[in-house]
Amino acid sequence: MSLNFDTELSTPVHEHTQRLSYADTDPAGILYYATWFPRMEALQTEWLLLNGFRQDTLLERFGWWTVSRATHCDYLQAARLFEEITIELRVGEIGNCSVRFDFQMWRREDQTLVATASNWLVTVSPDQKAIRLPEVFRTFLESGAAQ
């Protein structure tokens, strides 16, 4: 399954640039495949936090929280030690109970797309059952998707 991004129509809602460190790479100095996942989670969490949706207070404030249902990543080009990579976050498909966040990872030096990824986030009740996206969250997501 390859992800299809239309960069002409979709504007990032948040992004971060970071230089790859030794801890991010394998012994050959190439990015270790699992490195993207914590970076994606951090970017998504930061964007939600900056917009009033702190993961640690959702249940207390709104009576629901979010969980990741699935994550997928396509590795397109090698990323290497000390390269600067910009990760962009976009709001993807908004469903009944979930939202897909899409990510693009770009090597800054030559503007090469090195990876694309998605993470599906589901809203759940306190007893961990999927619920419809609450209106306050849906409205927020739709405003981000329209950017």
87, 15 contact by CB (below 8 A) = yes
Q: What is the pTM of this model?
A: 0.90
- Asked if the model's pLDDT at residue 84 lies above 80, the reply is yes
pLDDT digits (tens, 9 = 90+) for 21-65: 999 999 999 999 899 999 999 999 999 999 999 999 999 999 999
Read off the pLDDT of each residue in 3-14 and give the average, rounded to a whole number.
Answer: 66
With vertex at residue 5, the alpha carbon angle to CA 15 and CA 16, rounded to the nearest 5 degrees, is: 10
Rounded CA-CA distance 22/108 in Å is 18
Residue among 105, 147, 108, 140 nearest 123 (CA): 140
Could you tell me the CA-to-CA distances from 49 to 6, 36, 52, 80, 110 in Å, in that order? 26, 20, 5, 30, 31
The pLDDT of residue 10: 76
